[in-house]
Amino acid sequence: MTFDLSLLALMEDTITYEPPTAESSARVITFGTAVTYPALIQRGARRTISPAGREVISNVQVYIPNRVAIDQRGRITLPTGFVPQQPPIIGVEPLKGLELDHTAVLL
């Protein structure tokens, strides 16, 4: 199933995602072309497990309609007013269900 388009009215914000394209030997990441998505941004503490297996706290959750490929090494830019405007990506959860397919990005 896909995301029910009538729910797009809830996606009042816009975020920009830049996927990683390369990483140098000094671990400097080069980013690709930016893609803009409508999103719902929520603030609030949420516990999650990092890729390293440690429990971490996400203070901002971004919900993007449909399931999209988000790499944790990528860069997300939040709208003006958020500090920091480019927080690190802690986790990505592609979720599906009764016309509610979406991607949750934990920052």
Count of positions (residues) in the chain: 107
- DSSP code per residue over 48-94: EE-TTS-EEEEEEEEEEES-----TTSEEEPPTT-SSSSPPP-EEEE
Of 3.30.43, 2.40.10, 3.30.300, 3.30.70, the CATH number of 5-106 is 2.40.10
- Each domain of the chain, given as residue ranges in start order, spans 5-106
pLDDT of amino acid 100: 72
The token pair at 3 is: 């995301």
User: Measured in whole angstroms, how far is the alpha carbon of residue 94 from the centre of its chain?
Assistant: 10
pLDDT value, residue 76? 95
pLDDT per residue as tens digits for the range 34-76: 999 999 899 989 888 877 888 999 999 999 888 889 999 999 9
For the whole model, what pTM was predicted? 0.83
**Mean pLDDT of all residues in 66-90:** 91
